[in-house]
Structure 1
Amino acid sequence: MTVDTTSFHTRAVHAGRGQGAASSRATPIYLTAGFEFDDFDHAADHFGTGAGFGYTRTGNPTVRAVERQLAALEGGADALLLASGQAAVATALLTVAGAGDHIVSSTHIYEGTRGLFLDNLARLGIETTFIDDIADPSAWLSAIRPNTRALFAESIANARNDILDIAAISAVGDEFAIPLIVDNTLATPYLVRPIEHGAAVVVHSASKFLAGHGSVLGGVLVDDGRFDAAKAGHNAPHLVLPGRGGQPSVVERHGANARGAYARESVAPRFGASPSPLNAFLIGQGAETLGLRVERQSRNALEVARWLEAHDAVESVDYVGLESHPDHARAVAYLDGGFGSIFTFTLRGGLEAARDFVESVQVFTHMTHIGDVRSLVLHPGTTSHSARTDAERDELGVKPGTLRLSIGIEDVSDLVGDLSRVLTGARETVA
């Protein structure tokens, strides 16, 4: 045994650093800001090529393991884990667009993303055109300009459950070498994988279904790895032109993975959107049971939606799993394994009925979140969609009596029992 002759303070800092190699079945958590280099040349090689790990903001073994996991689930070439879903959306858009560019987006998107378009990207000189009829390829086509750099939509829209015709809209983008970016948070890769239908980039709020437990924030960007410099280079000069000081272009270094590599090298780390390795670990653990959870949540949601649709106190139910939904046929064509677990329904009693509902439920939790193992409820008109005008809310199917449900994995009889108890009083009031 070698005797350590350094001082107490030095031993406190260094004594634990020499651990032996071990093979962990679970993904190890590398909770460290930086990584020790083997020697002088190792450091130089890392900074010259990007190989290996030097600093967690630019790469971490725990994060990288989860990125490989999520890329495999979405069927993409590579994934980039980020600090939040908003970070994933912002990174995806800043990877393809810059000052003077234009984006075409569905109007049926998360309000935080809409605010990003209208308030933040607009200040950077990036303009957005919103379209309502997202199922009509001609609507997307008519909105495209010479400076359009991305099409953006959600696979299942919040809150009306509109279903994106991914293949048709990605074909419109392909005609002009414009990538379709799909937010697949509500559907998850268990139900649909947009890249398989032609989408170029998929983003998620990993805080939702991917993690599933509602404990951490995170986001992910998955790239298809099909960037064609010859076809799309004129829309992405930052990928095909030489770098600063005459360095090789991103395409020269990464080929068809250039778009994803640019997001990893130049956007995410410079804007500081890197995730905590601990959060990455928890997202990865949650994703292992994604299919089991989404299958049960979707089954529960369909039963709850059918029960609500038949209730006298309910004016309407916007759940794409119901045959009454206008996008049901498209959902059957795209979604495999269920119809998701997020939907809205509208009470006949208006705002006061909605208020009574959220303050009376016991099994459902009243909070801002979706994709949790727990069933959740929120009143969009006074929360997520409060910044919209009355006319805009009405167009999106958000009325005074509209409530959004995120169905969890509880026993469905308990969920229906909670709804029945609350809505019995509402039915009597309406009558």
Structure 2
Amino acid sequence: MPRSDVAAPITDWTEFSFDTRQVHVGEYPDQNRGARIPPLTLSAGYVFDSFDDGAARFNGDSREPIYSRQGNPTNAVAEQRLASLEGGSAAVVVSSGQAAITAALFALAESGEHIVSTASIYGGTRILLGRSFRRFGVSVDYVWDTDDDAAWDASIRPETKAIFTETIPNPRNDVVDIARIAAVARRHGIPLVVDNTVATPYLIRPFEHGADIVVHSTTKFLSGHGAGVSGAVIDGGTFDWAASSRRYPLLTDSLRRGLPSLLERFGPAAYAQYVREAVVNDIGPSLSPFNGFLLHQGIETLSLRMERHVDNAIAIAHWLEEQPEVEVVDYAGLESSPLHDIAQHYYNGRTGSVFAVTVKGGSDGARAFTNGLRIFSRMTGIGDTRSMVLHPLTTTHVCFADDLNARLGITAGMLRLSVGIESVDDLISDLRGGLDRVAGIL
């Protein structure tokens, strides 16, 4: 029985700082029987209180869970935490980053409709859009010069239902002007979907710059330890679905006779609810609660890790730029970068810890460099506490045509680095060992 002289637990963390919210949002101690950590709920389904309670849950009149394909109490902690940190109205966690992009865009575009994307995005996303989306009848066009309004206007059609971009594109750290792209989206009455995986809400919150929907591969920096695969879709809650010149009937029209539309029932969280009900539920990319537990545990230390990630990355980018075996370092935070002004405006020069370095010697140089590393792990993936190295031309971009890779800047000597939180002196020593191998073949 609660004591009258003990302060009530906090459940609304809205006015608290980022560092506090990343630890506490989504916690409800009074529901956890005294457990300090929100428990891992391993249950496929949930008991209805009564006949009428079951009907209420299926009608959307109750927020209590039905089945873990639609939602799980453990995953709900991560969802509430992510929505708070990004500044959105609601979030839905899913089984991977690719599932997040798929769910976010399938909720907007149907067969015969169209999406426009910036050209420099993660190779796996390009494959997803060019292969699976095409098979489902959703076409995609790319804008190469994101500062060219005429290029945007020429790419957007009556059937275009979304614009997609990344805050810090992977692998080249070629940051984009989010507010400028958001203005294009508003002018055409379509939502802007932003992948914020590399930056995380600690470095930038796209909703503050006009984005409407944010997606993450939460496998990466948000989880932080490379132990579980997960993704998330966050609804900004500000796009006016009813007033848009494009039709979004799955949100604005009733999906069942006698039932109000999702927009009428859920307001600013209608899009997130549609992602949950009609994409994740139907297609099934639900998140394992075990990985949801790993995710909300990882988020607790996000700001601490990101500070170390970025400090290390900046030091290494500057050091690499001075090495004779290096041709170019693609890090927008460097003063030598043509994107330095954007990096300063949005990130104060701290553009994450995933970037590219091109060594001399082409593919032979890249091979020598990679094989000479002992601390950097040779593997796919980014955003781990551990540093990683990858050769995009023979891995993530191997299926693309030579002319496309050339236009994207994916060359034989280019390596992607994901800088971890190890000692920066040890990391630089390791990179020096790799460059010594490069020097040996020049």
TM-score range, shorter chain: over 0.9
Work out the number of aligned pairs and report it. 411
Query: Residue by residue, what CA displacement relative to the aligned partner does 1:56-114 show, whole Å, maximum 9, x if unpaired?
Result: 11111111111000111111111110000000000000111101111101121112211
Matched, 1:128 2:128: no
Give the CA deviation at 1:300: 0.4
Query: Residue by residue, what CA displacement relative to the aligned partner does 1:173-222 show, whole Å, maximum 9, x if unpaired?
Result: 11121000000111111110001100000000000000000000000001
Q: Which residue among 218, 238, 250 is the counterpart of 1:226? A: 238
Matched, 1:339 2:351: yes
Alignment of 1:353-364 (within 5 A): 353-364=365-376
Moved more, 375-384 or 394-403: 394-403
In structure 2, how many angstroms separate the alpha carbons of the residues matched to 1:163 and 1:141? 21
**2:105 matched residue in structure 1:** 93
Q: Does the Cα contact within 8 Å between 1:191 and 1:337 map onto a contact in 2?
A: no
Q: Which residue among 64, 69, 87 is the counterpart of 1:52? A: 64
In structure 2, how many angstroms separate the alpha carbons of the residues matched to 1:114 and 1:239? 27
**2:6 matched residue in structure 1:** none
Q: Which residue among 426, 432, 439 is the counterpart of 1:420? A: 432
**1:242 matched residue in structure 2:** 254
Q: Does the Cα contact within 8 Å between 1:45 and 1:51 map onto a contact in 2?
A: no
Q: Does the Cα contact within 8 Å between 1:110 and 1:158 map onto a contact in 2?
A: yes
Q: Does the Cα contact within 8 Å between 2:32 and 2:39 map onto a contact in 1?
A: no
The amino acid across from 1:241 in the alignment is D
Matched, 1:202 2:214: yes
**1:183 matched residue in structure 2:** 195
Query: Residue by residue, what CA displacement relative to the aligned partner does 1:99-145 show, whole Å, maximum 9, x if unpaired?
Result: 11111011211122112211111122211111111233332222111
The amino acid across from 2:319 in the alignment is W
Q: Does the Cα contact within 8 Å between 2:242 and 2:252 map onto a contact in 1?
A: no
The amino acid across from 2:397 in the alignment is H
Query: Residue by residue, what CA displacement relative to the aligned partner does 1:248-280 show, whole Å, maximum 9, x if unpaired?
Result: 211121223221221111111111011011100
**2:47 matched residue in structure 1:** 36
Q: Does the Cα contact within 8 Å between 1:301 and 1:341 map onto a contact in 2?
A: yes
Matched, 1:102 2:105: no
Q: Does the Cα contact within 8 Å between 1:353 and 1:401 map onto a contact in 2?
A: yes
Q: Which residue among 132, 138, 148 is the counterpart of 2:160? A: 148
In structure 1, how many angstroms separate the alpha carbons of the residues matched to 2:222 and 2:302? 6
The amino acid across from 1:270 in the alignment is D
CA RMSD after TM alignment: 1.5
Give the CA deviation at 1:395: 1.6
Q: Which residue among 292, 296, 303 is the counterpart of 1:280? A: 292
Give the CA deviation at 1:420: 1.2
**1:271 matched residue in structure 2:** 283
In structure 2, how many angstroms separate the alpha carbons of the residues matched to 1:382 and 1:234? 40
SS in 1 for 2:56: helix
Q: Does the Cα contact within 8 Å between 2:178 and 2:209 map onto a contact in 1?
A: yes
Q: Does the Cα contact within 8 Å between 1:376 and 1:407 map onto a contact in 2?
A: yes
SS in 2 for 1:105: strand
Asked which structure has the greater CA Rg, the reply is 1
Give the CA deviation at 1:337: 7.8
Give the CA deviation at 1:40: 2.5
Structure 1 portions without partners, runs of 5+ = 1-19
Matched, 1:172 2:184: yes
**2:86 matched residue in structure 1:** 74
Distance 1:337 1:287, change over 3 A: farther
Give the CA deviation at 1:406: 0.2
Q: Does the Cα contact within 8 Å between 1:159 and 1:396 map onto a contact in 2?
A: no
SS in 1 for 2:233: strand
SS in 2 for 1:25: coil
Q: Does the Cα contact within 8 Å between 2:340 and 2:349 map onto a contact in 1?
A: no
Moved more, 329-338 or 212-221: 329-338
Q: Does the Cα contact within 8 Å between 1:295 and 1:338 map onto a contact in 2?
A: no
**2:322 matched residue in structure 1:** 310
TM-score (normalised: structure 1):
0.92
In structure 1, how many angstroms separate the alpha carbons of the residues matched to 2:42 and 2:257? 35
In structure 1, how many angstroms separate the alpha carbons of the residues matched to 2:167 and 2:370? 28
The amino acid across from 2:325 in the alignment is A
Q: Which residue among 143, 146, 149 is the counterpart of 1:137? A: 149
Matched, 1:327 2:339: yes
**1:408 matched residue in structure 2:** 420
Q: Does the Cα contact within 8 Å between 2:196 and 2:216 map onto a contact in 1?
A: yes
In structure 1, how many angstroms separate the alpha carbons of the residues matched to 2:79 and 2:330? 33
Give the CA deviation at 1:428: 4.3
In structure 2, how many angstroms separate the alpha carbons of the residues matched to 1:178 and 1:21? 42
In structure 1, how many angstroms separate the alpha carbons of the residues matched to 2:441 and 2:367? 14
Matched, 1:25 2:36: yes
SS in 1 for 2:385: coil
Give the CA deviation at 1:231: 1.6
Query: Residue by residue, what CA displacement relative to the aligned partner does 1:289-337 show, whole Å, maximum 9, x if unpaired?
Result: 1111111111101111111110000111101111111111101111158
In structure 1, how many angstroms separate the alpha carbons of the residues matched to 2:349 and 2:334? 15
Moved more, 364-373 or 418-427: 418-427
In structure 2, how many angstroms separate the alpha carbons of the residues matched to 1:210 and 1:119? 28
Give the CA deviation at 1:427: 2.4
The amino acid across from 2:262 in the alignment is V
Distance 1:234 1:304, change over 3 A: closer
The amino acid across from 1:34 in the alignment is G
Flag as ranges the 4+ runs of structure 1 deviating above 4 A. none
**1:290 matched residue in structure 2:** 302
Structure 2 portions without partners, runs of 5+ = 1-30
